[in-house]
Amino acid sequence: MGPGGAEALPLVRLMRGRIASTVQVKAVNSKVVALGIGSGPDGLEPGPGTADAAVRYGIDFAATAERTGFIGKAGETLVLELPELHLGASPWSGLAPTVLLVGTGGGGPADHRQAGAKLARVVRGKGQVAVGFGSESPRVTAALVEGYLLGAYQPVRYGLAAEGVGKKRRAQAKPAAPGQAQSTGDLALVGSHDRTAVVRAQIGAAATAFARDLVNWPSNLKTPASLADRAVAGAATRESVVARVMDPDELAARRLNATLAVGAATWQGPAADPAGAPRLVVVSHRPEGVKAAPHFVIVGKGITFDSGGLDLKPNSGLATMKTDMAGGAAALAAVLAAADLALPVRVTAVVPLAQNSVGAASYRPGDVIEIGAGTHGAGTLVEVGDTDAEGRLVLADALGYAVAEEEPDCLIDIATLTGAAKVALGNATGAVLTRDSTLAARIEEAGEEHGERWWRLPLAPDYGEALETPNAELGSIGQPGWGAGAITAGLFLERFAGGGRWAHLDIAGPARAGGGHDWSPPGGTGFGVRTLIALAERLA
Ligand code: BES
Ligand code: MN
Ligand code: ZN
C-alpha cells in the first residue's frame, strides 16, 4: 500500500520523565512540543507538564494563551512559534521552537480524545511531536492516543501506474508527490503513561484504520473476491485466526439463496464476472488454551457496491455506495483486533459479500425467496418488496448461518442498513435495536468508552404487521404508510436471529463522514469497530 491508510499510522513512543527535562530538541528529537491547558471554574488550568515547561522556557504559557482569548476548551489549539533572538541566547535556545497549547477541557477521556484528534491535524508535516499532557490515568492516556491516531489517518491515494509498455494502466496506490497532503508525525508521550493503555489504543485505532481502508477502497477494485482476499490475508498474519471463504457453489449447496439473488446480476448472465460473484466469509479468533470461551459472533453487511438493483438509486444516492460494506469491514476489523489483544473470547465475523447490480439476471421486486432453509428444516418465504432493500436479505442468510453453525453466546449484526436510521440519528450516532436491555446498555457503554455514540430504537412487535404481504410468509420491507424504516428492517432481521442474545446495529449515518471530523477525514469512519472490540472485552 502506498501513502496513507492503516500502514501509514504514526508510531507512539513512551518517554519517562518530566517534560521540562525532555523538551530539548536533542533529547526528544521533536521540534514541536504540545502542552495541555484545561478549563476549570476559575479559568485556565495548566496541566502539570505545562507548569514544568513554563519554568524551562521562561514563558508563562497560560497567561500568554489567555491574552489570545484561549479558553481551554477540548480540542482548542494555539501554536506558538517562538522567535529567534537577534542578539544573545533566548531561554528556549536548544528547546523545541514550536510550542502547541492544546485545550483539554474538563480533563476526562472524551476531552483528551478530542484534544488528541485535533493535535494530529495541527501537527501535519511538522514531524514527531513531544506531548507533555494526558498521563492522569490509563483511560486518559488511551483516549489521547486513540484520538491522535484516528485524527492522523489519511486515506490511501490512488494514481495511475503503467505496468510495462502496452499493458493496461491500473489504478494503484502510489507514493505521495512532494507538496501533497502532509502526514502526521510520530507521537512521543513524555511523563508516566500506562503502556498497556497505549497498546490497546494503538490496536483499536489500527483496526479502525483497517476498516476505513476497506470502506474507502473503490468498488472497481473492491469485489467480493478481493475483499475476501483481504480477510484471508488479515487472518494469515495472526496465529489465532482462521478464515474460510465460501464460493457461490457452496452458497447454493447451503441454500443461502438471498445472497445469491442479491448478487445475481454480477454473477450470472452475459456480464458474469467471477470476481464479482457473491461469497460468504467467516473469520474466527480462537484463543488458545481457554476452555469454554464464550463465542461472540458478528455478522456484517458486505455489499461491495449498492446500485439499488432494478429499483435503481437516484444519482445522489449512488455516489457513496462503495461504502455499503462498512458493517462487514467493522466485523472483520474487530476479529483481527481481538486476536491482536489476545482476548480470551472467541470472536467470529460472518460477512456476506455481494454486489447489488443491474442486469438481465437481476433479482426483481416481487420475487419470492426461501431464506434460512440451511441444512435442516424449511426456511421462510420472503417476498422482495424493493431490490434496494438488499442488505437485510444477505444479513438474513448470514444470521441463519451463524445461528445454525456457530453457536453464538452473543450475536450482533452491523450494517449500513437504512436511510431511515440516518434521517433519525444523523451522522454521528448509530442505532441499536434489541429486546435485550442488558446488551443495549453494554453496547452504549462500550461505545462511550471509545467516543462512539449509540441510541436505542424500539423493536416494537406491533410494527411487525408492516411486514405482512398477501404473497408470501414475510415481506422484505414495511408497507407504505408505516414509516419507521429502521425499525421494520430490525424486525425483519429478528426473524432470522434465532431467538438468543442478539442486537442489530444500523450504522448508515455514522459509517461515513461527509465533510469529515477531527477524528476522521471524509469517507469511511470505521464507526463501530471500537465498540465491537470493547464489547468483546466485556464478554471475556
Ligand atoms: N445501503 C442502503 C442504506 C443507506 C442509505 C446507507 C444511505 C447509507 C446511506 C440500503 O441498502 C438501502 O438502500 N435501504 C433502503 C431500504 C428501502 C428500499 C426499504 C433505504 O433505506 O432507502
Ligand atoms: Mn440498498
Ligand atoms: Zn445497501
Q: Look up the CATH superfamily of 217-539.
A: Zn peptidases (3.40.630.10)
Q: Where are the domains of the chain?
A: 4-154, 217-539
Distance (Å, whole) CA 160 – CA 164: 12
Q: Across the chain, what does the average pLDDT equal?
A: 94
Q: Which of 73, 124, 255, 313 is catalytic?
A: 313
Grid cell of 225 as nine digits: 473476491
Q: Which of 392, 422, 442, 530 is catalytic?
A: 392
User: Which region, left, alpha or beta, applies to residue 254 given φ > 0 means left and ψ of -120 to 50 means alpha?
Assistant: alpha
Distance (Å, whole) CA 300 – CA 101: 41
Pocket test for ligand 1, best of 262, 322, 382, 388 (most atoms within 8 A of CB): 388
Given a cut of 90, whether residue 171 has pLDDT beyond it is: no
| Closest alpha carbon to 215 in 349, 332, 352, 357 | 332
DSSP states along 312-346: PPPHHHHTTGGGTTHHHHHHHHHHHHHHHTT-SSE
Q: Which residue has the cell 508527490?
A: 177
Given this model, what pLDDT does residue 407 score?
Answer: 97
Question: Residue 18: pLDDT band by 50, 70, 90 thresholds?
Answer: confident
Taking CA atoms only, the protein residue closest to ligand 1 atom 22 is 419
Given a cut of 70, whether residue 120 has pLDDT beyond it is: yes
* Contact predicate 509/529, CB 8 Å: no
Given a cut of 90, whether residue 24 has pLDDT beyond it is: no
Given this model, what pLDDT does residue 268 score?
Answer: 81
Given a cut of 90, whether residue 540 has pLDDT beyond it is: no
Residue type, 516: G
Four-point Cα dihedral 305, 309, 313, 315, nearest 10? 60
- Section 325-354 average pLDDT: 98
Given a cut of 70, whether residue 174 has pLDDT beyond it is: no
Given a cut of 90, whether residue 273 has pLDDT beyond it is: no
Given this model, what pLDDT does residue 164 score?
Answer: 47
- Section 328-350 average pLDDT: 98
What is the atom index within ligand 1 of the atom nearest the CA of 321?
1
Instruction: Give the pLDDT confidence of 316-326 residue by residue, as tens digits.
Output: 999 999 999 99
Distance (Å, whole) CA 148 – CA 115: 8
What is the atom index within ligand 1 of the atom nearest the CA of 323?
8
Distance (Å, whole) CA 40 – CA 51: 16
The vertex-95 CA angle with 94 and 101, nearest 5°, equals 160
Question: Residue 88: pLDDT band by 50, 70, 90 thresholds?
Answer: confident
Pocket test for ligand 1, best of 418, 429, 463 (most atoms within 8 A of CB): 418
What length is written for the chain?
A: 540
Grid cell of 46 as nine digits: 495548566
Task: Determine how many CB atoms are found less than 10 A away from the CB of residue 268.
Answer: 16
301 C-alpha to center of ligand 2: Å?
11
- Taken in order 273, 276, 282, 284, is the CA torsion positive or negative? positive
Given this model, what pLDDT does residue 71 score?
Answer: 98
Question: Residue 87: pLDDT band by 50, 70, 90 thresholds?
Answer: confident
- For strands 512-513 and 523-524, give the pairing: antiparallel
Helix (H) or strand (E) holding 110: helix 109-122
CB of 344 within 6 A of ligand 1: the answer is no
- The neighbouring-strand residues paired with 36 are 102
Pocket test for ligand 1, best of 307, 387, 417 (most atoms within 8 A of CB): 417
Instruction: Give the pLDDT confidence of 426-459 residue by residue, as tens digits.
Output: 999 999 999 999 999 999 999 999 999 999 999 9
Beta strands in 90-247 (DSSP E): 98-105, 129-131, 158-161, 170-173, 187-190, 241-246
User: Helix %, strand %, coil % for the chain, to 5?
Assistant: 35, 20, 40
Instruction: Collapse the DSSP code of 224 into the 3-class scheme (helix H, G, I; strand E, B; otherwise coil) and give the result.
Output: helix
CA-to-CA separations, 245 to 10, 71, 164, 349, 516, in angstroms, rounded = 32, 54, 33, 12, 34
419 C-alpha to center of ligand 1: Å?
5
Top pLDDT among 508 and 268 is at 508
- Residue 26 is among the residues annotated as catalytic for this protein: no
Given this model, what pLDDT does residue 25 score?
Answer: 78
Given this model, what pLDDT does residue 180 score?
Answer: 57
Most confident of 173-177, 270-274, 384-388: 384-388
CB of 477 within 6 A of ligand 1: the answer is yes
Given a cut of 70, whether residue 338 has pLDDT beyond it is: yes
Instruction: Give the pLDDT confidence of 452-465 residue by residue, as tens digits.
Output: 999 999 999 999 99
Lowest-confidence segment of 135-144, 152-161, 338-347, 399-408 by average pLDDT: 152-161
Given this model, what pLDDT does residue 291 score?
Answer: 87
CB of 485 within 6 A of ligand 1: the answer is yes
CB of 419 within 6 A of ligand 1: the answer is yes
Q: What percent of the chain has pLDDT over 70?
A: 94
Given this model, what pLDDT does residue 159 score?
Answer: 77
Name the burial class of residue 173, with classes exposed (0-12), middle (13-18) and buried (19+) by CB atoms within 10 angstroms of its CB.
middle
- Residue 168 is among the residues annotated as catalytic for this protein: no
CB of 302 within 6 A of ligand 1: the answer is no
| Rg of the Cα atoms in the chain | 25
Which residues, other chains included, contact 63 with Cβ-Cβ below 8 Å and sequence gap of 6+?
none
Distance (Å, whole) CA 280 – CA 228: 8
Given a cut of 90, whether residue 122 has pLDDT beyond it is: yes
368-371, strands of its sheet edge to edge: 368-371, 380-383, 474-475
325 C-alpha to center of ligand 3: Å?
8
Q: Considering the domain 4-154 in this protein, what is its CATH number?
A: 3.40.220.10
Grid cell of 539 as nine digits: 464478554
449 C-alpha to center of ligand 3: Å?
29
Q: Do domains 4-154 and 217-539 have the same CATH topology?
A: no
Given a cut of 60, whether residue 163 has pLDDT beyond it is: no
